[in-house]
Amino acid sequence: MQTARKTAWQLWWPFALLCLLRGSRWTVSESLPGSVTTLASASLGCGSAAALYLLIVRPRVASREHLSQLARSALGGALLITGPIISLLYPRNISPASLTMALALTPVVIAVYEATTHHSGEALAGRLWPGLATIAGLLLLLAQPSLSNPGKDLFLALTPLLTGCGAVLFCSARASIWRLPAALLGACVALGLGAAVNFATHIGGWPEMAGLASGFDALEALLTLVALGRISATRWSAQFAIVPLLVLLEGVALMPAHVPGRMVAGLLLLAFAAVALLIPPSEETRFDLGTTHPDPARTD
């Protein structure tokens, strides 16, 4: 029993810490506006995290047969880390509420992607409803996004599409000591190209507190990949229900007042969707609970 608890803790602590970090980072951004994420700070953070990892672990040079798996890891990392902040390329501000609802569709993208690649369409309906329940809960809690601007709508659509597809690609790559740094370097390149576009078009600039922003971005990217490498993509996507739930609960705690029934219903829907995503489907129970565990030989 004690060994099982220890294994469960090793499996879940990166995901729990990731949710706590993303759920509380807004407080840092409020008090230190210069620490807000930009494409440049995220690129620097991913590059620094990859360099530090390689410096500490010093892995052997990957063999030729692993190059395709490294390319898959790099592409997956580029997509899933860039996806949540791809809207920073848009010349106008997109509201956090709209981005939160867009990211809540990530479990739906993952469900469709996995059903397509594994030809298991009969189980698709059961995989779709947690993501749709998250959207329903957010619609009760946040302002409904406007979908009248084609450019804005495109970036909102790309946000869950890139994030979900990147998560599945990363998970499908063979687990090796090179998977994590390859994903970080892929994200560093993609974000660097985006930052260069922003600098060229004067959309974004270098943050006033670049070191702090990059540090947070590096930690967030590391936790994202480590958590995704230890649990399934579906379970990992539960963060897009858990993080809004944490932020809204923090807001209720900071401003205690009468909580309307609509808010209670929305919070319950988010909690219900998060639990549904964290519990594996019946056909994955044996795999997730029986074979998914930290391998002592793995360091990613």
**What's the pLDDT tens digit per position in 113-130?**
988 877 565 567 778 889
214 alpha carbon, distance to own chain's centre: 17
pLDDT at 162: 97
pLDDT at 290: 35
In order along its 300 residues, the chain shows pLDDT tens digits of 555 565 777 889 999 999 999 988 877 777 777 778 889 999 999 999 999 999 988 777 666 657 788 899 999 999 999 999 999 999 888 999 999 999 999 999 999 998 887 756 556 777 888 999 999 999 999 888 778 889 999 999 999 999 999 999 999 988 888 899 999 999 999 999 999 998 888 766 665 666 788 999 999 999 999 999 999 899 999 999 999 999 988 877 777 677 788 889 999 999 999 999 998 655 444 334 333 444 433 444
pLDDT at 285: 40
How far CA 217 is from CA of 15, 23, 121, in Å, comes to 15, 14, 36
Contact 114, 120 (CB under 8 A): yes
How far CA 298 is from CA of 180, 222, 294, in Å, comes to 11, 15, 7
Residue 181 makes CB contacts below 8 A (sequence gap 6+) with 50, 53, 54, 59
Gap between the Cα atoms of 298 and 176, Å rounded: 7
For 248-284, write each residue's pLDDT tens digit: 888 777 776 777 888 899 999 999 999 999 986 554 4
The residue among 165, 200, 170, 171 whose CA lies nearest residue 185 is: 170
Residue 191 in tokens = 């974000």
Query: Greatest CA separation found in the chain?
Result: 62
Query: What per-residue string of b and e applies to 241-250 under the rule 16 or more CB within 10 Å gives b?
Result: bbbbbbbbee
Contact 157, 90 (CB under 8 A): no
Gap between the Cα atoms of 90 and 297, Å rounded: 42
Gap between the Cα atoms of 104 and 291, Å rounded: 28
Gap between the Cα atoms of 186 and 193, Å rounded: 11
